[in-house]
Structure 1
Amino acid sequence: MKYLCLVYLDAAHWSACSDAVCAEYAQQLAGSRRLLAADALHGTHTATTVRVRNGETTLFDGPFAETKEMLAGFYLVDAKDLNEAIQIAAGIPPAQYGSIEVRPVRELQVEPG
């Protein structure tokens, strides 16, 4: 089953974990065939939020919600169950400085056309 591990960090810890350490962990997961994708994100000052209401598109600088911890990156993993996904998330290096949200990925339910 696929799980998305969302990495959240506050501004004080945004660069606390080096890219090399994160890349090394990603390579370990890839070697075990559990990593499907992973990437780091630029800071929230580079974000643009898009909203569409009544057919009109509005753009906002930054993230939609003001929070202490910001989305810093993600790991999309293949795990046998939630327990294994949690074990993988606990090994993600930035977990020492922020938090990792683990969420199962669901398939879209589309009727055959």
Structure 2
Amino acid sequence: MSRANESIEHSLVVRVQVFGRRYVRLLQDISEFVRKHASLSFFQILFVRAQTVTSIENYQARLTATIAAFQISALVNIQQWQERNDKARAKDRRSLNLRLNQLAVDNLRLMEVLDTKNSP
């Protein structure tokens, strides 16, 4: 094997190792985030929802950067992925709004019940 081929092979091995470490670390970070978020109560989720959206956007950016660093972004149809992501976000937003509305209704009902029981 020529010196140039060895250098190219070594460079490729290093790039794959770097990509692997970045990708594994990203997956570990996402897993930790999901576990932490899953342990929150509904009210805690409400308080950190903006932070959650920001975190998800950061993970998305890191994932995109990791893929680009390995130069496989051409293999991924980013536009379709983004469309699916946007649809999933819209669905999640609708779901969250429905839950928030239900929570508000439940809160009003609770207040009414408490007022009824506390009135003489």
Note whether the superposition's TM-score is higher than 0.5: no
* TM class by smaller structure: under 0.3
Of structures 1 and 2, the one scoring higher in RCO (CA 8 A, sep 6+) is 1
TM-score, normalising length from structure 2? Answer: 0.26
Indicate the structure with greater strand content: 1
TM-score, normalising length from structure 1? Answer: 0.27
Q: Work out which of the two has the higher radius of gyration on C-alpha atoms and give 1 or 2.
A: 2
Indicate the structure with greater helix content: 2
